[in-house]
Amino acid sequence: MSTVTLLIGSTSDRKVVKESEMMSVFKDVGVDVAIHVISAHRNAADLHRFCERAEEIKVIIAAAALATALPGAVAAATGIQKVVIGVPLDDYGLDSCLRMPPGVPVLTAGVGKAGLKNAAIAACQILAISDPGIAARLRQYLADRTRKAEYNVSLD
């Protein structure tokens, strides 16, 4: 089982995941990720069983669209024992990522494609704390994407 898992609530969410380039972050940093389609509403029992067996998973990214309860449901189903990063894929998913009750942490990394890519980077940051190899590859990944500062530029 992978140390990072991406949960999406519907197969229709695959397009935005692909367009987000989040998978290239994991590939470049050398982190295995598994993707599963489990709806918090349609597959509640399956979601609970999956989370109970998720011992090797360190970080779960739960994408939320159409007001899905997936991020909070995942946090609850893991007994608040796993890092859960919620990514609202649209305006409907915002509340399910941002409005968690006290004691149920769901991190939020942004909205849509940018949020998914940020969630991938954040998951790698979390793993880098205890894995020097991931830390080095993440440092290189970020350095390769850093832009030089420009001073005294003209607006002409």
Kindly list the domain boundaries of the chain, sorted by start residue.
4-144
**In the prediction, which pLDDT does 100 show?**
87
Angle of helix 22-29 relative to helix 112-128, nearest 10 degrees, comes to: 20
Class of domain 4-144: alpha beta
**In the prediction, which pLDDT does 133 show?**
96
With a cut of 70, which residues of the chain have pLDDT below it?
A: 1-2, 67
pLDDT, tens only, 94-134: 887 888 889 989 999 999 999 999 999 999 999 999 999 99
Q: Where are the alpha helices (DSSP H) in 6-93?
A: 14-20, 22-29, 44-52, 70-77
**In the prediction, which pLDDT does 67 show?**
63
**In the prediction, which pLDDT does 97 show?**
84
**In the prediction, which pLDDT does 147 show?**
85
- Which stretch of DSSP H or E encloses residue 60? strand 59-64
- pTM (predicted TM-score): 0.91
Backbone region of residue 5 per phi and psi (left: phi > 0; alpha: psi in -120 to 50; beta: other values): beta
